[in-house]
Chain A
C-alpha cells in the first residue's frame, strides 16, 4: 500500500475529506501530520524565509515532520485558483517550489496545479494524472474524485451547524464532539480557515471565546449565496477567494441583529488581509469590530486581555442599549 503524506496546514482545513477519500479509494494510505505544536512552529520557522507569513511557516513545519516517515509521495498541491476569475494568494501559487528549495531530502512530490480561474479542463487532467500513480482505470479515478467531493460536502454540512472546520473534520473522522451551549454573546469570528482553525496559529481564539461564554458564529455557517451577494456590493470584485468570502461574511453579519460584534483574525504579513481588514473596518459601521493580527509570537496574555475587553464592552453595550446607543468604537 502506497503511503501519501498530507501536511496538516493551509487548505487541509477546507479540503481534507476530499484528499483523504480520493487517496483511500484508490488504495493508498493518507498519512496526516500531527496537530500543530510549538515544535511544528519551530521547525517551520527554521525552514522558511523570515518574511513568509505564519501559516506558510507552520505548513513547512508539517512538511518537515512528514519527511521523517517513509513516504511514497508527499501531497503539496499548487492551489492557484479554486473558482472562476479568483486567486487564493501568490504564496499558494509557489508553495511546491518554495518547499523544493527549502528542504533537501524530500519524498517525491505530488504537486498538481489547481487552476480553475478560466476553465476546469486542465484540472480534470491533473486529477487523472494524480490518480494514474495508483491505478490505470480512469473510471475508478473519476469515482474516487466524485466520492471525495460528496464527503467534502458532508463535512461542510457538519461545519455549517456551528463547528469549526477543524472540529467538523474530526467529527467526519468519527470523533464525538459536543455542541456548545448557547452563550450570552454572539460574536462573528472571521479569518482565513488555515489560521483561524489551527489552534496553535490562532492561539485557540475560538476556544477562548467559547470559554468566556460567547457563541462563535463562523463564515461556514452562513449561506454561500448570501455571502457572495453581499460581497458583490463592492465596487470592484475582490479577486482573492478567501478575501471576498470574508468581506461578504462581515457585511452579512453586520445585518444579522443577533450578532453583537465581529472579530477578524489576520496574520502578520498576509497580503490580502492587509487590505481586507481595512475594507471591512470601513464598511462595517453598525457593529463593534476588532482586528487581531497574529504571528509566531507567544504572548497569549495580550490576546486574552483584548478578547476580555471586547466581550466586556459588548456586554455593557447590551445593558445600555435599552437606554441609548453607544458608538461602535466606544
Chain B
C-alpha cells in the first residue's frame, strides 16, 4: 500500500511522520504548484471552493507518482468540506484512476474511535503503536508551530529578511527529515537559535491578526503567501488558528491541550451568536479578541464563496466599528494575480501606520 494525503500548510510534516510510524509506505504529493492548481481547476466543479481544487490536484499528482491509497478527512457539514471526499472520489473514478480512498470521519465523542480507525489503517500495528504514532506526530507539529511562531516574530523585525526566510525554510526541511523525537528536538532548537541570532532593526512592527478559513490561513500557496508579504512590509502576523488547534478540537476531542475555542465563542457574542459551520464563529471571535488585545488590524482570508466566511464577513463590519479595529477581507481563488494582493496589503498597512501615528498624537 502506497498512501498519500492532501497538503495543508506544514501539516504534511506531521501526517508523513504519523503514517510512517504506522509502517506504511508514504508518497506525499509534490508541493503545491501551478500545475496542481491547473489540474484541480480542470476537473473540479467550476464554483467549488478552492481547497477542493488543490486537494484534487494533489491527489492526481500523487496517483501519477504511484500512490494507490488516499487518506482524506470527512465531516458532517454544514460546510462543504464534509462532502469533499465524495466529490473527489467521483471525479477520480471518472478519470480512470485505480486507488482506494480511506476517509477518516471525525469521531462524535470518543477519541478511541480515532485510534481504532488508525489501527485499521496501519499494517500490523497495535492500538498502542497507533497511539504512539499520533503522539509522535503531535510532537512534531508542536515543534513546527514553535518555529512558525518564532519566525512570525523575527521576520518583520529582522534586518536581513531573506536570511530569516532561508533559515526557516531549511529548519522545516530538517524537521521533516528528522526521524526520531530527539533528532526533531535538536534540529528544532538549532533552527530557533539561528533565528534568534539574527540582527534586528529595533523598530516595533505593526501587529495584524490573520483570521479566516483554516486552509487559506495555513496554506501559503492558497493565500499568495500573505504572511510572508506582510512580514516583508514589517508587519508581525499572528495566526488565529493553527493545525494543532483544529486537530485538538475536532479529532482529539480537546484532550491534547486546553482549547481556547470557548473564549472565542464568548468573544463572538453579541455579533454572531451561533455556530455557522467551518470557522465563521472563530473568525468573528478572534477578531474581537485581537481588538481587545490592541492589535493594529485584522485581515480575514477565505476561499471565494466560502459560506461560513461570508457570514463572518457580514458581521465584521459591525465588529470593526464597535470594537475599533480596522478589518480587511481577502478572498482567494485560482487566479494568480499576486501583484493585486500585494498592493492591497501595502495600502492596508500604510493606512494602519498612519492611524497609529495620528492616534499617538491625540493621546
Contacts and interface: CB of A to CB of B under 8 A. Distances in A.
Interface string B261-283: 00000000001111111101000
A100 interface: yes
A52 interface: yes
A259 B87 CA distance: 27
A24 interface: no
Band of interface residues on A: 35 or more
Interface residues of B, number: 42
Nearest to A86: B77
Nearest to A94: B311
A279 interface: yes
Given A52-B314, A278-B45, A269 B305 contact: yes
Contacts of A52: 310, 314
A78 B274 contact: yes
A113 B273 CA distance: 10
Nearest to A238: B83
A101 B318 contact: yes
B308 interface: yes
B313 interface: yes
Nearest to A97: B272
A98 interface: yes
B149 to A, nearest CB: 30
A91 B310 contact: yes
B86 A94 contact: no
A214 interface: no
B267 to A, nearest CB: 14
A94 B83 contact: no
B274 A94 contact: yes
B80 A275 contact: yes
Nearest to B304: A51
B49 A271 contact: yes
Given A90-B278, A90-B307, A272 B273 contact: no
A268 B331 CA distance: 16
Contacts of A236: 74, 83, 85-86
A282 interface: yes
Contacts of B314: 48-49, 52, 94, 97-98, 101-102
A235 B101 CA distance: 13
A297 to B, nearest CB: 15
A94 B315 contact: yes
Contact of B277 (A78, A87, A113, A270): A87
B214 to A, nearest CB: 15
B83 A97 contact: no
Given A90-B276, A93-B274, A101 B315 contact: yes
B106 to A, nearest CB: 13
B82 interface: yes
B276, B307, B314 — most chain A CB neighbours (10 Å): B314
B166 interface: no
A240 B77 contact: yes
A254 B48 CA distance: 25
B78 interface: yes
A113 B74 CA distance: 26
B277 A239 contact: no
Interface of B: 45-49, 74, 76-80, 82-83, 85-87, 89-90, 94, 271-278, 280, 304-308, 310-315, 317-318, 331
30 contacts: A48-B314, A49-B310, A49-B314, A51-B304, A51-B331, A80-B274, A90-B311, A91-B307, A91-B311, A93-B274, A94-B272, A94-B280, A94-B312, A96-B273, A97-B271, A97-B272, A97-B314, A97-B315, A100-B318, A235-B86, A239-B77, A240-B78, A271-B80, A272-B80, A274-B47, A274-B80, A274-B305, A278-B48, A279-B86, A279-B87
Interface of A: 48-49, 51-52, 78, 80, 85-91, 93-94, 96-98, 100-102, 113, 234-236, 238-240, 268-275, 277-279, 282, 293
Given A49-B314, A94-B311, A275-B80, 17 more contacts: A49-B310, A49-B313, A51-B310, A52-B310, A87-B78, A88-B78, A90-B78, A97-B314, A98-B314, A101-B315, A101-B317, A101-B318, A239-B76, A239-B83, A269-B47, A271-B80, A275-B87
